[in-house]
Structure 1
Amino acid sequence: MGRRSDHSRGELEEMILSAGHALMAEQGFARFSAREVAKRIGYSVGTLYNVFGSADALVLAINTRTFAAWAEHLRAALAEAGDDRIRALVAGYFAFARANPNLWMAIYDHRLPPGMAMPERDAAARGVLTGIVADEVAAALGTLPGERSVALARSLIATVHGHCAFDLTGSFALMGEGAPMEAALARVRESLAAARD
């Protein structure tokens, strides 16, 4: 086992997050183990708790890292979007989830225990993704970003999320829906059209 003096706290945090993120990508939330993360980096599980405080705080940090990667993915999709930025946004959402199913599902499978608040740093990092969507919603409506576009963005994220979750779990296939991304895009376009009226 490594000793705490082998690495600084910042180095340990990065090592733990990198190993934890890789493990979550491989095995998903249900099979995730802080003990396995510790084993992979050559430290005791107690070191993980000394750095993060709890397994829930570690999973929260891993999921925040996924949000950051997801936001970057959407930015890259929008950079190549051409004129149809809404399609690029919806397609980017699906593409990230399909390419990273365990990481994406872990965001929604993990629940903070009662009494544990999300740290402001994590909330702000996660809010970047909603901000990207809200900016695109405002642009599609021909307005400046504001509370209206943020509220609509949240609803549209929920709409696309539901379609995406049904896609990943196979529920849409069982229902005979062969184009879930296109269905989600159609619902988004309908909502934007209604919001313009």
Structure 2
Amino acid sequence: MGRRSDHSRQDLETLILAAAAALVAEVGLAGFSAREVARRIGYSIGTIHNVFGTTDRLVTAINTRSFGLWAAYLRERLDLAGDADRIAVLVEGYFGFARSHTHWWTAIYDHRLPPDATLPEADQQARGVLTEIVITEVARALHRPVDDGIATLARSLIATVHGHCAFAVSGAWALMGEAAPETAALARVREALAGHIAAG
């Protein structure tokens, strides 16, 4: 493995992030260790701190990367869907990413920044792409332009689907005797959209 002199700072950032994301995919956030990432890439823990500052910033970068992959996952499925039931595709895409990449998905919601830290603007913008996809599709389904009301509705629908998905991933849904969380989530979304249309 190359040493520090063989990699630029950008190279190191890419190398560290790839190894860190792979580790999260293997062991989840609970088993994550920046020291293990350093061992895997053949650098010292100090190098990781020099590049990312703190382990929290590294995990933030991993989660922002996951948001990007998730957005791409949804876009691919929407592109394939064409004019088919795109709302169903969104719900399936939410569950599909969570099931295919459970540790990455869970890490997004398990990680908390320290109280005195804020999410950098670049990370906020990158993560916001996923929500914008949903807002656009909700507006399309309702034949409405995107406005604050549509954005608020879309975020509420995300919360609804997320709750169903989180219960499914954790096993809580099955413990309640339910067998089809994705179907139930889609039904709740359809009800909300129908109610919005009825309300004018």
Q: Give TM class, smaller chain.
A: over 0.9
Partner of residue 8, structure 1: 8
Q: Alpha carbon RMSD of aligned pairs, Å?
A: 1.0
Gaps of 5+ in 2: none
Q: Once the two structures are aligned, what percentage of the paired residues are identical?
A: 62
Q: Residues of 2 paired with 1:112 and 1:172: CA distance? A: 28
Q: For 1:122 and 1:156, locate their aligned partners in 2 and report how far apart those are by CA, in whole Å.
A: 23
Trace 1:48-197 onto structure 2 (pairs within 5 A): 48-81=48-81, 82-196=83-197, 197=199
Cα offset, 1:4, TM superposition: 2.3
Q: What secondary structure is seen at the aligned counterpart in 2 of 1:111?
A: coil
Partners of 2:13 and 2:139 lie apart in 1 by 37
* Deviation (angstroms), 1:128: 0.1
Determine the C-alpha separation between the residues in 2 that align with 1:99 and 1:122.
23
Q: Distance in 1 between matches of 2:86 and 2:3?
A: 50
Number of the residue aligned with 1:44: 44
Task: Give the letter for the 2:4 counterpart.
Answer: R
Which string of whole-angstrom CA distances, capped at 9 and with x for unpartnered residues, describes residues 142-174 of structure 1?
Answer: 111122221111111111011001001111111
Structure 1 residue 3: Cα displacement: 3.5
d(CA) in 2 for partners of 1:150 and 1:51?
A: 36
Q: TM-score, normalised by structure 1?
A: 0.97
SS in 1 for 2:30: coil
How many correspondences in the alignment? 197
Runs of 5+ consecutive residues of structure 1 not aligned to the other structure: none
Displaced runs of 4+ in structure 1, greater than 6 A?
none
